[in-house]
Structure 1
Amino acid sequence: MAPQGPKSMTASKGPQPVEEARHLPVKGPHPGYISIANQYTFEQKLRRMQKENGCDPSREDNYRLQGVQLIDNVRESLQLPVRTFDTACTYYHKFRLCFRDAEYNYQDAAMASLFVACKVEDTIKKSKEILCAAYNLKNADHPTTQDDKIFEQPSKIIIGLERLILETIGFDFRVRYPQKLLTKMVRKRVPPDEAREFIGVAYPMCIDIYKTFSPIKQSTFTMAVSIVELTARLMGKDPEFYKSVRPERYHTTRGCVTETVLDLLDLYTQFPKSTRIGTRFDLAKFIDIKIKINQEVDADRDLARFPGWCDQCESEDREMSWITPGSATSPVNTGSMPGSNSVKRNAKGQEGTMRFVFDADEALKEQDAVGEYFREDYEEYEVEIEEDIPEAKNHNNHGHGHGHGSNHGHGGPRRDRGHNNRDPGWAPYNRNRNQDRNRGGRKGGYYQ
């Protein structure tokens, strides 16, 4: 055996160079995507989202009104508080703005919004219980219970839509409730002998406002001030009554109040039968109030129909001709609840994870910090490269000549006696061999 131990080991002579390990950059996990919840949306953005989703304007209003009315009917049937109604309508509007009509049924979306709202407001109801209430309202002659098997498939659809609603709102469950603030304003400004009549008009109007997009455009104070002003105008109150309400004291502006009042007037003049207040007053009264407010907007330069409107963005949106509205055979026209045809939307394939952040400033800081490691820098430079032009065969030679101009198929440089820039099929003389012999031409070489 070979000896082992310290004495048998050979000592190294001199220092040996140590090779530095070259490590490739470690590729970590994808940082994911950040989604920030948006509490308020401008009117211009709402219209752009509808165009991008391919909503048909002629049908969009009808489906919005029918969905909110369905939520209200089921809510009253289950004896749920008005806060749950407000939350469900807000989620319903946001969901319809983010998904195409062809991907779901508007009735299923309304029931799914009410299902999520019941969890948020701690008035928990089962999905089958909500579906059963909606079914009994539609089929009052043949009521059933929530244990019926016809609610198995619709219940799965609602649970699937629940996840999409949570992603749409970004897990931000904050919603405006104008009813409580409206009651306080009426108590403070309206005399006790007139308060009952006043609140009898203002409170149903507070339900009708959720049939517009005002709840996702305006704050609670704006909606309450707008309802008080419109109610006072309808009841023939002194103009000083609603002009004394200063919007600045309620953290809003006159432009936002005007926009909300006009949204309500548009609802009452176009769809009076689908509201609670539209049939209680004459249509001409709504039109007269609308004319007066429009005159106020035209006279004041600081007011506009939609505050924050960008004319340049509007001109760009009109040029978007590639968007087509939804088809008339979309699932929104089919039956809902039992036997529904709603399509379950699959999540798009993404490399990272979607994360929902509430603080926009922190999300921007994180994006800037992570962006440094994913930034790709490029340098553009031009390089001149000489390429050889492929030689073409001379079809007139037929491979017979052995003179200086033949290539013999070796691909070498071509020497055509000054004719290399001509057509490859061109010959110095258009003669055949017999004519060359008769005229004494050369018998070999290039002209053979």
Structure 2
Amino acid sequence: MSPTDAEAPPAASNGDTASRIGPHPGYISSSNQYSSELKIRRMLKDNGCDPAREDNYRLQGVQLIDTVRQHLNLPVRTFDTACTYFHKFRLNFRDAEYNYQDAALASLFVACKVEDTIKKSKDILAAAYNVKNPEKPAASDDKIFESPGKIIIGLERLILETIGFDFRTRYPQKLLVKVVRSILGPEEGKSFFNIAYAMSIDMYKTFVPIKRTTFSMVMALVELTARMTGEHLDKVQAFVAQRRQYSRPAVLETMLDILDLYVQYHKSTNVGAQFDLNRFMDIKIALNTELEKEFISRHMYYCNRCENEDTPPATSGSGTSPTATASSWPGDASMRRTARGQDGTMRFVFDPEAAREEQDTVAQFYNEEYEEYEVEVEEPIPPPRYEHAEGGGGRGGYRGGHGHHGSRDRGDHRRGGPYGGYRGDRHYRGRRYH
């Protein structure tokens, strides 16, 4: 096959003459509402995060969101949405690329728009400033908020691309009210609900909201509250037995994640100060014993061998600020952003199956198919080179240019010496493209 044939474009599907491949259709980003523990750890490893520093920034960022939304009298569903965006954003960007406080306030800014509790960026910045400086409050139209306001707006686009323009989030507090009323009634469950509600706020300081469904989160909060108070555990178990959608491994993982928060950061939570630390540790030991007895994994969809494998480093331009590279690599929490070419655009698709079918259809026009082949070519042997010497012959033949050739003559061996065959033959390998 000639090179011209190998580079010819594929024929058109309608039977017309061959036409060139059109422009690249772009890149697809499909949103995913849930992430596994293994995926979260790999994304943090790719970011090069220090575990202690990462936990500290996550706790402080969520606490900042909660403090500002209380100062602005925003509903709890805005807090839930803001924390979800904050977690997903931090999983896709390195800590060195942004300030976690800017990311937290930008997440709250986007959540206010999504939940129809619209606040200006300067209003959020002024609230955060007044919380830290109550003795010197500042108005939202102060000039000190102009530069930070531009940073918030710049991060807004990155957050939208990170979540894949998929604004669906989960609000466990609404279902928590219904479940507690169903188990204990409206009057008896009032004090029980207050503890469970405070625990639901602490839960957003972990990665549970982006891992578990609403029902799993609510049942974990209810059972963990019952275990800490030592009341109504039998009623909770009776309620669980009637629900088909209940998943015990998911609830156990959620409870252990929350207990890890209370054990490691006892004073940085709302419920941690209300109970003794030994109480949390005893409940954690009991749950771990149940895991071993029922042969349940600590994390769902987890593979120890996969975690130990070295993952390739991120190839994106991670050394610059995200506000300066906003058009370079958008992504979402379901898929780690990768370096892409300058051609093509990023499109966001909500249906993963439709995105997968489109990628499979387009891939056949951009994949190079080839086969290997060998060609045998005969090359003419160049004439032997003689070295002129002043004296007579040496070992292996006369080197003066006269007389017969010795046994080491190169020509004799090439044409039929003891090795046989014609040694001027050479084999070439190549690839034939289709």
Deviation at 1:369, TM superposition (A): 2.1
Match of 2:84 in 1: 90
Match of 1:42 in 2: 36
Deviation at 1:291, TM superposition (A): 0.6
Deviation at 1:192, TM superposition (A): 4.2
Match of 1:288 in 2: 282
Match of 1:72 among 66, 76, 92: 66
Match of 2:375 in 1: 383
Superposition map of 1:138-177 within 5 A: 138-177=132-171
Match of 2:116 among 111, 122, 127: 122
Could you tell me whether the CA contact under 8 Å between 1:63 and 1:106 is conserved in 2?
A: yes
Superposition map of 1:214-233 within 5 A: 214-233=208-227
Query: CA distance change for structure 1 residues 234 and 276 in 2, over 3 Å: closer, same or farther?
Result: same
What secondary structure is seen at the aligned counterpart in 2 of 1:309?
Answer: coil
What secondary structure is seen at the aligned counterpart in 2 of 1:246?
Answer: helix
Match of 1:261 in 2: 255
CA separation in 1, counterparts of 2:409 and 2:384? 10
Could you tell me whether the CA contact under 8 Å between 1:157 and 1:342 is conserved in 2?
A: no
Match of 1:275 in 2: 269
Could you tell me whether the CA contact under 8 Å between 1:103 and 1:344 is conserved in 2?
A: no
Match of 2:184 among 185, 190, 203: 190
CA separation in 1, counterparts of 2:242 and 2:343? 47
Superposition map of 1:18-37 within 5 A: 25-37=19-31
Structure 1 length-normalised TM: 0.77
Match of 2:327 in 1: 347
Counterpart of 1:205 in structure 2: which amino acid?
M
- Give structure 1 regions of 4+ aligned residues with deviation exceeding 6 angstroms: 388-395, 404-407
Could you tell me whether the CA contact under 8 Å between 1:214 and 1:263 is conserved in 2?
A: yes
Deviation by residue 1:106-148 (Cα, 9 ceiling, x = unmatched): 0000011001000000111111111111111112222111111
Match of 2:364 among 372, 379, 388: 372
Counterpart of 1:209 in structure 2: which amino acid?
M
1:62 aligns with 2:56: yes
Query: CA distance change for structure 1 residues 417 and 62 in 2, over 3 Å: closer, same or farther?
Result: same
Counterpart of 2:123 in structure 1: which amino acid?
E
Deviation at 1:26, TM superposition (A): 2.2
1:306 aligns with 2:299: yes
Query: CA distance change for structure 1 residues 56 and 248 in 2, over 3 Å: closer, same or farther?
Result: farther
Query: CA distance change for structure 1 residues 322 and 39 in 2, over 3 Å: closer, same or farther?
Result: closer
Deviation at 1:394, TM superposition (A): 6.2
CA separation in 1, counterparts of 2:372 and 2:229? 72
Which stretch of the first structure deviates more once superposed, 147-156 or 273-282?
Answer: 147-156
Match of 1:244 in 2: 238
Could you tell me whether the CA contact under 8 Å between 1:91 and 1:165 is conserved in 2?
A: yes
Structure 2 length-normalised TM: 0.79
Could you tell me whether the CA contact under 8 Å between 1:71 and 1:114 is conserved in 2?
A: yes
Query: CA distance change for structure 1 residues 354 and 192 in 2, over 3 Å: closer, same or farther?
Result: closer
Could you tell me whether the CA contact under 8 Å between 2:84 and 2:169 is conserved in 1?
A: yes
Could you tell me whether the CA contact under 8 Å between 1:202 and 1:227 is conserved in 2?
A: yes
What secondary structure is seen at the aligned counterpart in 2 of 1:85?
Answer: helix
Deviation at 1:416, TM superposition (A): 6.0
Match of 1:52 in 2: 46
CA separation in 2, counterparts of 1:76 and 1:179? 16
Deviation at 1:238, TM superposition (A): 4.6
Query: CA distance change for structure 1 residues 252 and 29 in 2, over 3 Å: closer, same or farther?
Result: farther
Query: CA distance change for structure 1 residues 270 and 379 in 2, over 3 Å: closer, same or farther?
Result: same
Deviation at 1:241, TM superposition (A): 2.4
CA separation in 1, counterparts of 2:381 and 2:157? 63
CA separation in 1, counterparts of 2:292 and 2:136? 55
Could you tell me whether the CA contact under 8 Å between 2:196 and 2:222 is conserved in 1?
A: yes
Deviation at 1:421, TM superposition (A): 4.5
Deviation at 1:417, TM superposition (A): 5.0
CA separation in 2, counterparts of 1:193 and 1:364? 51
Q: How many residues are treated as equivalent by the alignment?
A: 375
CA separation in 2, counterparts of 1:247 and 1:28? 58
CA separation in 2, counterparts of 1:420 and 1:156? 83
Query: CA distance change for structure 1 residues 93 and 138 in 2, over 3 Å: closer, same or farther?
Result: same
Query: CA distance change for structure 1 residues 421 and 288 in 2, over 3 Å: closer, same or farther?
Result: same
What secondary structure is seen at the aligned counterpart in 2 of 1:172?
Answer: coil
Match of 2:5 in 1: none
Deviation at 1:350, TM superposition (A): 2.9
CA separation in 1, counterparts of 2:324 and 2:182? 49
Gap regions ≥5 residues in structure 2: 1-15, 329-340, 391-397, 412-434
Query: CA distance change for structure 1 residues 420 and 210 in 2, over 3 Å: closer, same or farther?
Result: same
CA separation in 1, counterparts of 2:77 and 2:232? 32
Larger Cα-atom Rg: 1
Deviation at 1:250, TM superposition (A): 6.0
What secondary structure is seen at the aligned counterpart in 2 of 1:373?
Answer: coil
The structure with more strand, counted as a fraction of residues: 2
CA separation in 1, counterparts of 2:381 and 2:132? 80
